[in-house]
Amino acid sequence: MSDTIPAPFLKMNGLGNEIIVADMRGRADRVTAAAAIALNADPVTKFDQVMAVHDARTPGTAYYIEIVNSDGSRAQACGNGMRCVTQALANETGQSRFTFETVAGILFGEAEGDGQITVDMGRPRFGWDEIPLAEAFADTTGIELQIGPIDAPVLHTPSVASMGNPHATFWVKDDVWSYALDRFGPMLENHPIFPERANISIALVMSRDHIVLRTWERGAGLTRACGTAACAALVNAARTGRTSRKATVTLPGGDLVIEWRADDHVLLTGPTEHEFAGQFDPVTGSWTRATEDAA
Residue 6 DSSP one-character state: P
Architecture of 146-264 per CATH?
Roll (3.10)
What architecture (CATH level 2) is domain 7-122+272-293?
A: Roll (3.10)
Write out the catalytic residue numbers: 78, 226
Q: Could you tell me which of 52, 51, 42, 48 has the C-alpha nearest to residue 70?
A: 48
- Cα–Cα distance, 245 to 265 (Å, whole number): 11
Strand partners, 273: 13
In this structure, are residues 137 and 194 in contact, taking their beta carbons and an 8 Å threshold? no
Helix (H, G, I), strand (E, B) or coil at 70: coil
Q: Judge whether 259 and 246 are in contact, CB under 8 Å.
A: yes
Using DSSP, state whether 85 is helix, strand or coil: helix
DSSP string, 89-139: HHHHH---EEEEEETTEEEEEEE-TTS-EEEE----B--TTTTT-SS--S-
pTM for the whole structure: 0.91
Per-residue pLDDT of the chain (295 residues; tens, 9 = 90+): 477 899 999 999 999 999 999 999 999 999 999 999 999 999 999 999 999 999 999 999 999 999 999 999 999 999 999 999 999 999 999 999 999 999 989 999 999 878 899 999 999 999 999 999 999 999 999 999 999 898 899 999 999 999 999 999 999 999 999 999 999 999 999 999 999 999 999 999 999 999 999 999 999 999 999 999 999 999 999 999 999 999 999 999 999 999 999 999 999 999 999 999 999 999 999 999 997 654 4
Residues of the chain with CATH 3.10.310.10: 7-122+272-293, 146-264
